Amino acid sequence: MNTLNYKGYTAKIEFDPDDNILFGNIIGIRDTVGFHGESVTELKEAFQEAVNFYLSSCKKAGRTPDKPFSGKFVVRVNSSLHGQIAEAAVNSGKSLNQWVSDSLEQAVHSH
């Protein structure tokens, strides 16, 4: 997946072969914020403008903009795997949260 990042917001980027444009949408927020461009430069500028417009619109409306990601998410696994993860965390001298965070970071960087 191709992404762009600006002011803590991440956008997923795609190509529309029918219209011959690049387009994107901010991910990780409840609001829908999209943008497009005919070149990478236009796309990056449109993304930054979209984020800035979103933030200023929220401010004018007196509401707090969605934060891209809170850093918390719930993952459900079977009890056997949960036990194995807890054991791995203890064996590595880490808390369960730190072990899972480190493992996820390693998985992301290996791609």
Residue 1 has what pLDDT?
Answer: 73
Ordered by start, the domain boundaries in the chain are 2-61, 79-109
Residue 45 has what pLDDT?
Answer: 98
Residue 46 has what pLDDT?
Answer: 98
Residue 67 has what pLDDT?
Answer: 86
pLDDT (tens, 9 = 90+) of the chain, 111 residues, equals 799 999 999 999 999 999 999 999 999 898 999 999 999 999 999 999 999 999 999 999 999 999 877 778 889 999 999 999 999 999 999 989 999 999 999 999 987
Residue 69 has what pLDDT?
Answer: 75
3-state SS track over the chain: CEEEEECCEEEEEEEECCCCEEEEEEECCCCCCEEEECCHHHHHHHHHHHHHHHHHHHHHHCCCCCCCCCCCCCCCCCHHHHHHHHHHHHHHCCCHHHHHHHHHHHHHHCC
Residue 102 has what pLDDT?
Answer: 94
